[in-house]
Chains A and B, each alone.
Chain A
Amino acid sequence: MEQSTQQFTGAEILIRCLHEENVDFVFGYPGGAVLNIYDAIFHQDKFKHILVRHEQAALHAADAYSRSTGRVGVALVTSGPGATNAITGIATAYMDSIPMVIISGQVPTYAIGEDAFQECDTVGITRPCVKHNFLVKDVKDIAATMKKAFYVANSGRPGPVLVDIPKDITAHLHTFEYPENVQLRSYNPVTKGHLGQIKKALKLLAEAKRPMVYSGGGVVLGDASEHLIKLIQALNIPITSTLMGLGGFPASDKNFLGMLGMHGTYEANMAMQECDVLLAVGSRFDDRVIGNTEHFLSNPRTIIHIDIDPSSISKRVKIDVPIVGDVKSVLTDMNDLIATEKPVQNTAALADWFKQIEEWRGKKCLTYAQSTEFIKPQYVIQKLHEVTKGDAFVTSDVGQHQMWAAQYYPFDKPRRWINSGGLGTMGVGLPYAMGVQFAHPEAQVACVTGEGSIQMNIQELSTCLQYNLPIKVILLNNRYLGMVRQWQEFFYENRYAESYMESLPDFVKLAEAYGHVGMRIENPSDVEGALAEAFSPKLKDRFVFMNFLTDQKENVFPMIPGGKGLSEMILAENL
């Protein structure tokens, strides 16, 4: 009784909700509308608040915390500009289905709609880029709303949920009781796949002459990696992965054909185009993945699609055997069926199929011309892989360096490759590395970036100093907005409109100004040594900013030009 009659402020109630959810990090930035909440944070030590230098970084860091752990990421921002600065981070998480709870301050309820200082319609502005959002108008609703927010964010197809709380509500008093359960009559995500459909899918896969598996971010988010490995081993099927799915299946496995899509491998894209039965697992036939839809469909194949989100099925490509359900649950059922039914496979056809795949593999499409004069960006990534023994968490920004990291750093474990695949947000790399390093303080965390992207959230070097984050920044500095330059070279007759980066800062001095270690590497022969030093025990506890001056004209290959089909790749010149 004593517990239930004790009065707390709305802010204290909010903090208690976060304690109930076992939140260990909140990434945020204070401001007027959230002062009561920050005062309540001051009085607690169950979770750690991380003070970023810009709200966008708070969102990205919380997002990467989630990507690397599977837990809900939590961010806290103030009203008005605090909330609008957070939008890019929210949209980034939304596009990649990352579970997050974002708490935003709002002007007091009596001032809403009066164009008050630092007022904006946060619920309205975020509506198209959240899974759901709430405006809390009564202190007694805070606990139930927070419970719903965490539940919605982390169930079904995950996503960010925003809770907007007016300042007066955080001062009002109420008792605290955190609901045990949450019931939403309008929201009951399906988890178990239809067994009849699963049987049908298995039969198709077993009888296929040219079967293929295409896995996506859903395998990583759904923690279904082991189950996917088991399936591939049982049926011995070739498998490719989307950018978001990398690590969901070990890249070093013989059945893995590498990433597919716009910058996918020759063998992955060809096999995807030529297969007769395709199993898509937690992937969504994105435009960057299958290229031109009509071209993709010009080769008939039977498509099975496992996805937790019914709206992902038959969105861009008609699916023959849809299976709505949690990827892990469906793969478990499928593996159980294989164990009991021991399906007979067309082994002769399968052998021919692998022979064909080996032929495609023989192209060695990721070969690049090594140079003694210029540092090849691909070489830096390969050496990074060697030096970190393939065991680092690698975050990236967006552009050429992102594709090279995806191509040349083979990931064997899920949740190690952290990047913005859907929204393609430049500037995520450094705050992503922060979120990962907080979640895994002992791990090696490398941020592969470009000189364009890194400058979009460069202020976070200060946050990294405050919390002594031993991140290693691998800047592939080609003095160009490389991916833009590449498209201009191919499709705009070398008219490099605004893609050259002039007046770059001295990154070594910049890193040093923020109290970090800076390195400038200009010669190919120095690449390995510099990386080894950065990851050596000597610098293990230091933030190291490595500025690699790379070949300015290097392009990402293979490449499927926009509007072209999977088998219409441009390969590197020497291939």
Chain B
Amino acid sequence: MTHHTSRHIISLLMENEAGALSRVAGLFSARGYNIESLTVAVTEDPTLSRMTIVTSGSEAVIEQIIKQLNKLIDVVKVLDLNDGKFIERELMLVKVKATGVFREEMKRMCDIFRGRIIDVADGSFTIELTGSGNKLDAFIESLDKAAILETVRTGASGIGRGDRILKV
């Protein structure tokens, strides 16, 4: 077993029932697994929720996480997106200072990263940005720290490429 740790994105479908989310969250804390982010919402089938969990661990730990998730009675299907090709997206809202020189600078940075300004106030802009976690990190890094007033990120959502489909 390799002890090398890597980042994995796990997608799962579960019964859209009260308590299902806490079963998953509880499993991670009870067994000491990492959660980088966790997002969940109902799917086109209202009886199912889809969750994306970003975690990290050795191959053995990831294998255990998948098995333990499958063991939960409310979990219908589990897929480790890292087993194949996939796309990852995350949404971030950033409120930045937009006064004086910052006002033009922020507009330019937003364009470079293909973000959108969705709220304009006298002293601030709110920028909406979508992309992989890395891209969002890069945007934050490239801003002057003093200009950042507030950030909020949704955590990653993932989906397999092409024919890789997670469905009941």
By the criterion CB–CB under 8 Å, are B18 and A186 in contact? no
Q: With CB as the reference atom, state the residue of chain B lying closest to A187.
A: B73
Contacts of A309 in B (CB 8 A): 71
The answer to whether A311 and B71 touch (CB under 8 A), given A123-B19, A185-B76, is yes
Asked if B63 lies at the interface with its beta carbon under 8 angstroms from chain A, I say yes
Q: B67 within 8 Å of A by Cβ?
A: yes
Q: A311-B64, A314-B63 are in contact. Are A124 and B168 (CB under 8 A)?
A: no
The answer to whether A504 has its CB under 8 Å from any CB of chain B is no
Q: Closest residue to B71 on the A side, CB-wise?
A: A311
Q: How far is the CB of A95 from chain B (nearest CB, A)?
A: 13
Contact with B along A486-519 (1 / 0, CB 8 A): 0000000000000000000000000000000000
> Given A132-B73, A152-B73, A184-B73: A127 and B23 within 8 A (CB)?
yes
Q: How far is the CB of A26 from chain B (nearest CB, A)?
A: 24
Interface size class of B (residues with CB under 8 A): 20 to 34
Of the residues B18, B60, B168, contact of A185 by C-beta under 8 Å: B168
Residue of A nearest to B23 (CB): A127
Q: A364 in the interface, Cβ–Cβ < 8 Å?
A: no
Within 8 Å by CB of B26, from A127, A152, A185, lies A127
Q: How many A-B pairs with Cβ below 8 Å? A: 42
Q: How many residues of A contact B (CB 8 A)?
A: 19
CA distance A313 to B64 in the complex (A): 9
- Report whether B19 and A311 are in contact in the complex, using a CB–CB cutoff of 8 Å: no
- Residue pair B1, A318 in contact (C-beta under 8 Å): yes
Complex-state Cα separation, A322 to B67, whole angstroms: 14
CB-defined contacts of A311 to chain B, threshold 8 Å: 64, 67-68, 70-71
In the complex, 17 of the A-B residue pairs with CB atoms within 8 angstroms, ordered by the A residue number, are: A127-B19, A127-B23, A127-B26, A128-B30, A131-B73, A135-B19, A184-B73, A185-B76, A186-B74, A310-B67, A310-B70, A310-B71, A311-B70, A311-B71, A314-B1, A314-B60, A314-B63
B 97-119 binary contact with A (CB < 8 Å = 1; else 0)? 00000000000000000000000
Chain B residues near A172 (CB-CB < 8 A): none
Q: Which listed residue, B1, B19, B60, B75, touches A186 by the CB 8 Å rule?
A: B75
Minimum CB–CB distance for A2 against chain B, Å: 34
Across the interface, which residues of A come within 8 angstroms of B26, CB to CB?
127-128
Q: Closest CB-CB distance, B18 to chain A, in whole Å?
A: 7
Q: Enumerate chain B residues within 8 angstroms of A184, measured Cβ to Cβ.
A: 73
Shortest beta-carbon distance from B12 to chain A in Å: 10
Contact, CB under 8 Å: A186 / B67: no
Residue A363, interface by CB 8 Å = no
Residues from 48 to 73 in B contacting A, C-beta threshold 8 Å: 60, 63-64, 67-68, 70-71, 73
Specify which chain A residues have a CB less than 8 angstroms from the CB of B75 in the assembled complex: 186
Q: Does A315 contact B (CB under 8 A)?
A: yes
Q: Which of A88-143 contact B (CB under 8 A)?
A: 123-124, 127-128, 131-132, 135
Q: In the complex, which residues of chain B have a beta carbon less than 8 angstroms from the beta carbon of A135?
A: 18-19
